[in-house]
A = this chain, B = another copy of it.
């Protein structure tokens, strides 16, 4: 994925997951320290409904496959 484009698109994630993937509250997962592959699996799950979350589902539904790859690449830069 493209990290620069991912950072733009990920703006909607920052309010809960933090700009560097460190969640603002302990009940939200940190996205830092995860692989781009796992992050995209999770986002695709929310998008296709195999992974359930009332907050994440509507967020993921507006993302394209490229958005998902770019956002995942962006957060995976924080290990």
Contacts and interface: CB of A to CB of B under 8 A. Distances in A.
A38 B28 contact: yes
Query: How big is the A interface, by class?
Result: 10 to 19
A30 B50 CA distance: 20
Contacts of A32: 33
Contact of A27 (B28, B37, B51): B37
A62 to B, nearest CB: 22
Interface in A22-48: 23, 26-30, 32-38, 41-42
Given A26-B36, A26-B37, A29-B38, 9 more contacts: A23-B38, A26-B35, A29-B34, A30-B34, A30-B35, A32-B33, A33-B34, A50-B52, A52-B52
